[in-house]
Amino acid sequence: MKFKNFPFRFFFPFIYSITFVLGCNSNYKSMPNSNISPPMADVVPYQHKIHDHIRIDPYYWLNQRDNPEVLEYLDQENDYYQKMTAHTQALQEELYKEMRARIKGDDSSVPYFFNGYWYITRYEEQKDYPVYVRKKEVLTATEEILFDCNEMAKGLDYFRLVGISVSPDNTKVAFGIDTVSRRQYTIKVKDLESGEILKTKIENTSGGSVWAADNASLFYNKKDEQTLRSEAIYKHRINIPEQEDQLVYNEADESFGVYVSASKSRKYIFISSHSTNTSEHRFIKSDQPESTFKVIHPRTSGLEYNVAHFGDYFYIHTNLNEATNFQIMRTAVDQTNSEFWEPLLPHREDVLIEDIELFDQYWVVNERENGLSRLRIMRWDDTVDYYLPIHEETYSLNVSFNPEFKSNQLRYVFNSLTTPSSVIEFDMASQQKTILKTQEVLGGDFEPSHYVSKRLWADARDGSKIPISLVHHKDTQLSQTTPILQYAYGSYGHTIDPYFSSNRLSLLDRGFAFAIAHIRGGEYLGREWYENGKLLKKKNTFYDFIDCSKFLIDQKYTSPEHLYANGGSAGGLLMGVVINLAPDLYNGVIADVPFVDVVTTMLDNTIPLTTSEYDEWGNPNKKEYYDYMLSYSPYDGVKTQDYPHLLVTSGLHDSQVQYFEPTKWVARLRAKKTDQNFLFLDTNMKAGHSGASGRFDSLRELAKKFAFIIDLEEK
């Protein structure tokens, strides 16, 4: 997708699984120890001065990660949280076992075929991490283990392997490893013939890499060690020390990140530079790794384009010529400037073109109309043009991995709020589909017909209609006593589609309903939906969420005593603003790794990824943006008022939302709030933005959050 080519500082990778599982059980009663006093952070006023304005930060000292007093304070907050929630330990354990029981322990992915091998990812019973394997030519061949991450993760608090890249001759594989959870990956190379790990050890990368056709040249990107911006592309030669790697391209503009990729045809290598709303691409032929990268079209502010290759053409997904919802164009590989781009699929005012997938006989376009995804399938000879048939009111539909050109089989993934995820293979010629794999829900008598989903439309204060996807058990009657968890994200054009989660059943089976508010800032209703929720229109995001809450209350689907809210990362900023503006609408709120000190962070260009996001939030070095951001900043906007019950999570090694943002926010809230409601800060001292790395370890983190909501619903 066009807006997913660089890492958002505040995107929360686990928003789906973390926010969808809650529950309520009348056997658990709240028995917190009211004699325990919360920690109170020392007040050390610090003055921020800019634009002839002084802003006082009483907890700026908490920004010092290496200060022992800061670590001691975090430990005190964790200790307070653990003691105050000790009475929920049995519930946490029950939730953990319940969620884990639904997960198939010895699961595996649908095999895909590429360059002579079948590739499979599988999980073994009782183990946290995946095992990556391949089989030569046929699925009955002997299994070759590429990586057993369970063995590689032994003795480590955190482990993540990314960027598996097999050389064209199938003899070597490059991969990236992070053992800190700060997204600074070390690239290594494994010899697949001997099974040995080579001496290559390239540190401080994004983890991804691309082989040239010579099987010896490896292109990768380096990060700035302080800001973590992906800033340069290097070329590594196998068996030559990485200290001698050649700098291929340096991205001088600090508002851009740069990445390297290969075309689906494997004939070209691309270097792509991206900011929030501008992109630029360079290319070489894969069999000419020593050649100089050529620019496809020079960067132009506001011009976005992505490039795919097939045959004699580059296919361009772009907003050229004010194509707000994007269009598809093509150009000969030797005439790449936009003056040569010819229309293939024109822009439409009511249809967002999200992506394309190319085959030798067909091409597929991923579109979105009125919030719903659809796949348009066309033959290159213009004899076929139709849409993949879908028969649900609200759902999630995405093209899966299709690495081969010479195929009539399109793989896609379908699920909905009530339907488990399925990988489906669709024959584009016969229009017959085959379900290759459906998510198994174990541990009970799950039946999709036991659940009901619908799409609602709330009135925004400016007259816009905001979609809400809602799901509940068929036996749950929506009323003022129905607990509802309302979730949203609302930034970067990232769309939260309604999709299935087995964890969410712990919520629905206990009488909860779950609502996704498709607010502005995402692209659910097209590109304009995003544009009207960013920069100087960012407040629409917050107002939309509040107006959706009021709608659910006004329609008597719930009430403030039973309405809960959750958001993570940029969605955590959403939570912070909402409780400053409308705290009386919610009984409890979970803010996961929240981006709440927006002004301070966006003024500090030494913090990871700040400069690359000026086009999303604005540059507060300019007074207009400073004033606007300050008017909604959750940290600066904390008031002397009552707040809902709050659980705030954080990660000490978080590279996207620094730990001190939620830490300072909690300290300020605790000093100013006038209620007796719970306020907890739970900091993972061994992980970062994504939390625990193991599939089962992460469930324990979820169980703590779920128990918090259950406990509140029982009061």
Please say whether the beta carbons of 409 and 425 come within 8 A: yes
**pLDDT beyond 60 at 22:** no
**pLDDT score of 693:** 56
Give the separation between CA 566 and CA 586, rounded to whole angstroms: 10
**pLDDT score of 6:** 37
Give the separation between CA 378 and CA 362, rounded to whole angstroms: 6
Pick the catalytic residue from 689, 693, 698, 711.
689
Cα–Cα distances in angstroms (integers) from residue 111 to residues 145, 260, 292, 399, in the given order? 14, 26, 37, 16
**pLDDT score of 35:** 81
Number of domains observed in the structure of the chain: 3
Q: Which of 441, 475, 495 is the last residue of a domain?
A: 441
18: confidence class by pLDDT, cuts 50, 70, 90: very low
The answer to whether position 156 is within a domain reads yes
State whether 635 and 707 are in the same domain: yes
Give the separation between CA 715 and CA 712, rounded to whole angstroms: 5
State whether 476 and 613 are in the same domain: yes
State whether 432 and 458 are in the same domain: no
Give the separation between CA 295 and CA 337, rounded to whole angstroms: 8
The answer to whether position 446 is within a domain reads no
Range of the domain at 535: 2-31+40-101+452-713
State whether 387 and 521 are in the same domain: no
State whether 417 and 521 are in the same domain: no
CATH number at residue 260: 2.130.10.120
**pLDDT beyond 70 at 691:** no
What mean pLDDT, rounded, does the chain reach?
A: 92
Unique residue bearing structure tokens 């952070």: 41
DSSP string, 581-628: H-GGG-SEEEEES----HHHHHH-TTSTTSGGGHHHH--TTSHHHHHH
**pLDDT score of 190:** 97
State whether 46 and 155 are in the same domain: no
Cα–Cα distances in angstroms (integers) from residue 68 to residues 61, 71, 180, 277, in the given order? 11, 5, 19, 41
Residue-wise pLDDT tens digits, 382-439: 999 999 988 888 899 999 999 999 999 999 999 999 999 999 999 999 999 999 999 9
State whether 239 and 214 are in the same domain: yes
State whether 231 and 191 are in the same domain: yes
**pLDDT beyond 60 at 529:** yes
Which residues touch 372 (CB under 8 Å, ≥6 apart)?
390, 394, 395, 397
Residue-wise pLDDT tens digits, 466-506: 999 999 999 999 999 999 999 999 999 999 999 899 999 99
The answer to whether position 315 is within a domain reads yes
Q: Which of 306, 332, 347 is the last residue of a domain?
A: 347
- Which H/E stretch holds residue 69? helix 68-84
State whether 472 and 546 are in the same domain: yes
Give the separation between CA 378 and CA 365, rounded to whole angstroms: 8
**pLDDT beyond 90 at 650:** yes
Residue-wise pLDDT tens digits, 551-601: 999 999 999 999 999 999 999 999 999 999 999 999 999 999 999 999 999
**pLDDT score of 610:** 79
Please say whether the beta carbons of 682 and 704 come within 8 A: yes
CATH number at residue 94: 3.40.50.1820
Rounded average pLDDT over 34-62: 95
Residue-wise pLDDT tens digits, 326-350: 999 999 999 999 999 999 999 999 9
**pLDDT score of 16:** 34
- Which H/E stretch holds residue 54? strand 53-57
The answer to whether position 447 is within a domain reads no
Pick the catalytic residue from 592, 654, 682, 711.
654
Q: Which of 304, 322, 347 is the last residue of a domain?
A: 347
Please say whether the beta carbons of 316 and 299 come within 8 A: no
DSSP string, 406-429: S-SEEEEEEE-SSS--EEEEEETT
- Which H/E stretch holds residue 573? helix 570-581
Give the separation between CA 499 and CA 520, rounded to whole angstroms: 19
Q: Can you give the pTM of this predicted structure?
A: 0.90
The answer to whether position 204 is within a domain reads yes
Burial class of 422 by CB neighbour count within 10 A (0 to 12, 13 to 18, 19+): middle
**pLDDT score of 105:** 86
Give the separation between CA 18 and CA 5, rounded to whole angstroms: 24
**pLDDT score of 685:** 86
Cα–Cα distances in angstroms (integers) from residue 219 to residues 260, 485, 507, 669, in the given order? 7, 45, 46, 47
State whether 328 and 410 are in the same domain: no
Pick the catalytic residue from 181, 217, 501, 569.
569
Unique residue bearing structure tokens 């498709």: 518
The answer to whether position 321 is within a domain reads yes
State whether 109 and 97 are in the same domain: no
**Is there a catalytic annotation at residue 355?**
no
**Is there a catalytic annotation at residue 317?**
no
**Is there a catalytic annotation at residue 562?**
no
Strand 185-191 and strand 172-178: pairing? antiparallel
**pLDDT score of 483:** 97
State whether 180 and 113 are in the same domain: yes
